[in-house]
């Protein structure tokens, strides 16, 4: 009997790791969390006060790898690497699925940094270090602030300002014309004869 044939609870729950639609293999992964604490320390007091400000965002550090597969399996590590880089560099949040997630849940995350390392000595494989931060629930905003969304909003604001400037200029010209006309009437009525 092989060790992989022994019945284990964690082996039954083990799943393929992926970010968005790109798969990778995991050497190790870590989840860091905690509480946001505001520490208050006052002069002439020996006892501080720690104020709980809520749960902090979870950080996920993943050390993974991509390895060359056989032609029968369909992908080389180079195409897997290209897929993973595309997913890591895409705008906005994505779903991270780890081999043994907490509570069997996938989590929506933002990519903070990633590093892909390839070496001459280890051909056909690359290592991938990825840092993610929990995306959370941005219920107070309707869209993600991607560069395209920012550019769209900036364009709309620019058009609105242009319209306001045109209207203000037209209003000023109208006031000037009215004042000029009134001044001419005044001069005609009360000026020298």
Rounded average pLDDT over 122-149: 80
Contact 64, 97 (CB under 8 A): no
Kindly list the distances between the CA atom of residue 17 and the CA atoms of 115, 130, 146, in Å, as whole numbers in the listed order: 17, 13, 26
Burial 73-82 (b: 16+ CB within 10 A, else e): eeebbeebbe
How does pLDDT run across 139-174, given as a tens digit for each residue?
A: 666 656 778 778 888 888 888 888 887 887 877 877
DSSP state letters, 139-187: TT-SS---HHHHHHHHHHHHHHHHHHHHHHHHHHHHHHHHHHHHHHHHH
How does pLDDT run across 49-108, given as a tens digit for each residue?
A: 999 998 999 999 999 998 876 555 555 788 888 999 999 999 989 999 988 777 667 888
Instruction: Return the percentage of the chain with pLDDT > 90, whole number.
Output: 25
Q: What pLDDT was estimated at residue 116?
A: 92
């Amino acid at each position: 009997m092989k060790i992989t044939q022994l019945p284990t609870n964690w082996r039954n729950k083990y799943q393929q790791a992926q970010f968005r639609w790109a798969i990778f293999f995991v050497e190790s992964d870590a989840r860091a969390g905690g509480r946001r604490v505001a520490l208050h320390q006052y002069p002439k007091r020996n006892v501080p006060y720690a104020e709980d400000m809520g749960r902090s965002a979870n950080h996920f550090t993943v050390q993974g790898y991509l390895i060359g597969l056989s032609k029968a399996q369909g992908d080389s590590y180079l195409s897997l690497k290209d897929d993973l880089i595309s997913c890591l560099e895409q705008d906005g949040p994505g779903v991270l699925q780890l081999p043994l997630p907490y509570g069997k849940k996938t989590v929506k995350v933002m990519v903070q940094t990633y590093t892909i390392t390839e070496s001459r000595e280890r051909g056909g494989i690359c290592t991938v270090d990825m840092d993610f931060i929990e995306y959370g629930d941005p219920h107070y905003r309707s869209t993600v602030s991607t560069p395209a969304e920012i550019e769209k909003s900036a364009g709309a604001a620019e058009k609105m300002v242009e319209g306001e400037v045109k209207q203000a200029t037209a209003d000023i010209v109208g006031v000037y014309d009215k004042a000029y006309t009134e001044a001419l009437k005044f001069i005609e009525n009360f000026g020298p004869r």
